[in-house]
Amino acid sequence: MIEVENLTKHYGQHVALDGITFAVGHGEVVGFLGPNGAGKSTTMRILTTFLAATSGSVHIGGDCVFERPNQVRSRIGYMPENNPLPIDLRARDYLVFRAQLKHLSKDMATKRVDEVVEQCGISNEENRYIGQLSRGYRQRVGMADALLANPELIILDEPTSGLDPNQVRSVRSLIRKLAGKHTVLISSHILSEIEMTCDRVIILHEGKLLASGEMNKLISKSNSKVVAEIRAPLIDIKNWVNEIALEDSELIEQKNGYVRCQFSGTKNNDAREQIFATVNERGWELRELSRHTPSLEDLFVSLTNGKEGNR
């Protein structure tokens, strides 16, 4: 659906995107992740034909975005950053106007507007002026606009920014429902967001592509961690750790005699059985034994910090 090759964008001296290459297949929900200023919005603007790239090529559904912008635009439903909407129109009138711009016939426009209003849960508010709507409802109007023409590709730039937790949850479930029928590209710097909605993630940092791939694989590449809380003298525990040869250990003394032992490093993924057996052998008390898979957040921090360290 999307093929991006060697995409570079300069704003004067500033390099916003530096040779990015990625591809997105049909029906995938892909998250675009990066700190502010990483180049997420610039990439989206180039994909949606709003801006031209300095060099590189972008094809959407086989059409080049620079040479056939109108074909590309009719394939895309796009909600720009901050979801700009005209405040002087009623929500429904705005959607009808947008439907006309997207080449829907009059009957089709009415039908589709009814459907997206229902789908995005704005039935009760459709006749209010957009200027009077709360931020959550405006966001839904923006989403409804993106869905109007039933596009193959939906691009949402930070769809949940500024929403309260309930609204975030409803937007998230809406995005999940789109999977399969549409290809969805969403950007965010909120990691839990992407973690919950996307199959794949593309991580950008300072205009460069840091990582791209399926969420699970990316996460499993980075280390998971085993934690055990044991009641025993610290000295004994140190000896025990050396004995069972677990690497990258970190021992923290807790209240009432417990010691929290954290073992990181790929080899320790399934060290829990060994830990339980040896602790039991010694007759120590064990109050916690757990394995923590790293979140996207850990992955993100390790990737971006690594980069910053290299500068």
Partner 1 sequence: MNIFRALIRRELSMFFQGPTGFIIISAVLFLISLGFLVVLYGLNGEATPMPVTQIFYETYFFWLILLLIAPAITMRSFAMERASGTYESLMTAPVGDWQVVLSKFTGALIFYMILWTPLLVCSIVVRFYVGESAVLGFGTMFTTSMGILMIGSLYVSIGCFASALTQNQAVAAVGSFAIGAALFFTGFFSYFSGDRTDFFSLLARHISLANHMESFTRGILDLGAIIFFLSLTSLFLYLTHKVVESRRWK
DSSP string, the chain: -EEEEEEEEEETTEEEEEEEEEEE-TT-EEEEE-STTSSHHHHHHHHTTSS--SEEEEEETTEETTT-HHHHHHHEEEE-TT----TTSBHHHHHHHHHHHTT--HHHHHHHHHHHHHHTT-GGGTTSBGGGS-HHHHHHHHHHHHHTT--SEEEEESTTTT--HHHHHHHHHHHHHHBTTBEEEEEES-HHHHHHH-SEEEEEETTEEEEEEEHHHHHHHS--EEEEEEES-HHHHHHHHHHHT--SEEEEE-GGGEEEEEEESGGGGG-HHHHHHHHHHHT-EEEEEEEEPPPHHHHHHHHHHHHHHH-
Query: Does residue 26 interact with partner 1 by CB under 8 A?
Result: no
Quote the least distance from Cβ 74 to partner 1, whole Å: 4
Binding mask 116-145 for partner 1 (x = CB under 8 A): -----------------------------x
Query: Does residue 16 interact with partner 1 by CB under 8 A?
Result: no
Size of the site for partner 1 (CB under 8 A): 32
Query: Does residue 254 interact with partner 1 by CB under 8 A?
Result: no
Binding mask 85-114 for partner 1 (x = CB under 8 A): xx-xx-------xx-xxxx-----------
Query: Does residue 70 interact with partner 1 by CB under 8 A?
Result: yes
Q: Which of 23, 26, 35, 52 binds partner 1 (CB under 8 A)?
A: 52
Query: Does residue 49 interact with partner 1 by CB under 8 A?
Result: yes
- Residue closer to partner 1 by CB (options 79, 201) is 79
Query: Does residue 40 interact with partner 1 by CB under 8 A?
Result: no
Quote the least distance from Cβ 78 to partner 1, whole Å: 5
Query: Does residue 45 interact with partner 1 by CB under 8 A?
Result: yes
User: Which contacts (CB < 8 Å, 24+ apart) does range 237-241 have?
Assistant: 237/261, 240/278, 240/279, 240/282
Query: Does residue 161 interact with partner 1 by CB under 8 A?
Result: no
- Residue closer to partner 1 by CB (options 5, 298) is 5
Quote the least distance from Cβ 238 to partner 1, whole Å: 59
User: Which contacts (CB < 8 Å, 24+ apart) does range 99-108 have?
Assistant: 99/148, 99/149, 102/74, 102/148, 102/149, 103/74, 103/149, 104/148, 104/149
Quote the least distance from Cβ 132 to partner 1, whole Å: 13
Query: Does residue 74 interact with partner 1 by CB under 8 A?
Result: yes
Quote the least distance from Cβ 159 to partner 1, whole Å: 14
Quote the least distance from Cβ 84 to partner 1, whole Å: 3
Q: Which of 15, 19, 27, 54 binds partner 1 (CB under 8 A)?
A: 54
Q: Which of 6, 66, 229, 260 binds partner 1 (CB under 8 A)?
A: 66
Contact residues for partner 1, defined by CB under 8 A:
45, 48-55, 66, 69-70, 73-74, 76, 78-82, 84-86, 88-89, 97-98, 100-103, 145
